[in-house]
Amino acid sequence: MNILLITPSLNQGRSHFLRMPQLTLGVISALTPADIEVDVVEEEIEEINFDKHYDLVGISCMTFIAHRAYQLSSFFRAKGSKVVLGGIHPTVMPEEAIEHCDSVVMGEAEGCWEELLDDFRHNRLKKFYKSFNADLSRFPVPKLKNSHTPFQVTPIFCTRGCPFACEFCSVTDLYGKKLRHRNVKDIVNEITSRDSDKFFFMDDNIIGDAKFAKELFPALADLKIRWVGQASISLAKNKDLLELARKSGCSGLFVGLESVSSENLKKLRKTPDDAIEHGKAIQIIRDAGIYFHASLVFGLDDDDVSIFEKTLEFLHKNKIPGATFNILTPYPGTAVFERFKNEGRLLNQDWWNYNHRTVVFKPRNMTPEELAEGFIWLGKNYYTKTSIFTRFFYNYNHPLLYLTINWGFRKDYKNKKAEDFFPKSTEPSLSLLPGIPVATPGVAG
């Protein structure tokens, strides 16, 4: 028996300069019995062997690559393979996904993959498998391939779940509101088993459970590693925890600021909820020697066209090393998707446009055109040569990280136009699979 596990991509073999390391397929591979042959393919960095026959094909996908997952599924089913779809999109859109495959995994594979394989062996594969709030004490050490990521960081995770349930976020749809964590000893054992001293913690908020973080960070300090991860800006309020993070080897943090608008922050229940306090918190984290990378969302209901200039001013005033800009995306399964749908504000439901960089809805206080134009204006002006050069002198403690991120984003925005951020009415160009036309993606009604 042999299995193929795939994470699809719209850009086969053309890896993005800041691609996130993959962990999901390594977990599923580790859960698979040793007597089963497993091939793992990340389509963004390698090609699929379409000539080889597989008994079972598992595809994990997000919303914007759902149509590519459906195309691959159609091809392998035509060759006689059974296909299982999993990930966030099949979890929130199971009835759509099952139209394109033989079985759908909803939630986390850890709680049902073994059952699914046993059912497949005995020719009784069910249409749906559900596993939520899996017991992380049974989490296996993932079988990882070369990550091919900048700086060769190794992915790892400690916690799942988020108690905040932000309107635009889909984390709770997959992992729930309850914070769960692995045993610290298991995490340490996994780290020491890797031939690496650089790690990327995939947790949505590594300090979400402060008590757990205060147990984890001292254990990491003994390992002499360097790591980056994601955390909330509230870390600045907990000086003891911040110092523990620094001593543990924390080199950089990706922080969801979301907005510089105090009105937006209050509605998002973010702390601190004031832009001035945000600035002070950022300085505290940077003073600890930690690279600070901000993530911001545009198109929130209190945003108008002034938000772009305000954001640029805030970023420059606070000497923020780097930032990721996102257009609000109402992902299916989220509260904002249902609200926009009920309000008649969705421009389309073609999933390939749901990618953080396409305007798929009508903003409340500006036109879709103004949102796209402001978005590209901000990206180009924040990543000018002058801006990069000026900010470097305030962020020289991580020069390679700083220059890689800034010059990479500069290149990304350089030739973009506002129209690039509007929905594409036709499916994006994909290499056709042998003898199989591109599958028509399912679109929710």
Of 427 and 105, which is predicted with more confidence? 105
pLDDT over 90 percentage in the chain? 69
Contact (Cβ atoms closer than 8 angstroms) between residue 199 and residue 156: yes
Query: What pLDDT band is residue 441 in, cutting at 50, 70 and 90?
Result: very low
pLDDT at position 343:
97
What number is the average pLDDT over the span 352-375?
96
**CA dist 345 to 301, 317, 340, 364, Å?**
12, 35, 5, 9
440 falls in which pLDDT band (50, 70, 90)?
A: very low
Pairing relationship of beta strands 226-231 and 250-258 according to DSSP bridges: parallel
pLDDT band for position 79 (cuts 50, 70, 90): very high
pLDDT for res 356: 93
CATH architecture of 2-136: 3-Layer(aba) Sandwich (3.40)
Beta pairing, strands 159-160 & 180-181: antiparallel
Name 253's Cβ contacts closer than 8 Å, sequence gap at least 6. 228, 229, 230, 231, 235, 285, 290, 291, 292, 293
With a cut of 50, say whether residue 445 has pLDDT above it: no
CB proximity list for 222: less than 8 A, separation 6 or greater: none
Q: Which of 262-271, 285-294, 415-424, 431-440 has the lowest mean pLDDT?
A: 431-440
Query: Which stretch of 9-23, 169-183, 286-300 has the lowest confidence by average pLDDT?
Result: 9-23
Whether the pLDDT of residue 212 is over 80: the answer is: yes
Q: Which residue intervals of 102-170 are DSSP H helices?
A: 113-121
pLDDT in tens, 238-263: 999 999 999 999 999 999 989 988 77
Q: In 3D, which of 244, 393, 250, 374 has the Cα closest to residue 303? A: 374
Q: DSSP assignment of 289-334, as one string?
A: T-EEEEEEEE--TT--TTHHHHHHHHHHHTT-SEEEEEE----TTS
What's the distance, CA 392 to chain centroid? 27
CA dist., res. 254 & res. 48, Å (int): 32
**For 67, what's the count of Cα atoms within 13 Å in the CB-facing half-sphere?**
24
Residue 435 pLDDT exceeds 70:
no
Stretch 218-235: mean pLDDT: 95
Cα–Cα nearest to 229, from 246, 209, 251, 261: 251
Whether 2-136 shares its CATH topology with 149-421 is answered no
Cα 259 to Cα 167: distance, rounded to the nearest angstrom: 14
| Contact status, residue 41 vs residue 5, Cβ threshold 8 Å | yes
Sign for the CA dihedral angle at 251, 254, 255, 260 comes to positive
- The winner for highest mean pLDDT among 130-134, 254-258, 262-266, 305-309 is 305-309
Top pLDDT among 34 and 442 is at 34
Contacts of 301 (CB under 8 A, 6+ apart): 264, 267, 363, 364, 365
Residue 274 clears pLDDT 80, i.e. is over it: no
pLDDT at 311: 97
Of the pLDDT bands very low, low, confident and very high (cuts 50, 70, 90), residue 442 is very low
CATH number of the domain located at residue range(s) 149-421 in this protein: 3.80.30.20
CA distance 415 to 18: 18
Sequence-ordered list of residues with C-beta below 8 angstroms from that of 442, at least 6 positions apart, any chain: 66, 70, 93, 96, 97, 99, 100
pLDDT in tens, 137-152: 888 899 987 655 556 7
- Any idea where the domains of the chain sit in the sequence? 2-136, 149-421
What does R_g of the chain's alpha carbons equal in angstroms?
22
Q: Which helix (DSSP H) or strand (DSSP E) does residue 255 occupy? A: strand 250-258
Lowest mean pLDDT among 95-104, 139-148, 308-317, 330-339: 139-148
The predicted model gives 400-415 an average pLDDT of 90
Q: How many helices (H) and strands (E) does the chain have?
A: 16, 14
Query: What's the mean pLDDT when you consider all of the chain?
Result: 89
Find how far residue 31's CA is from the centre of its chain: 22
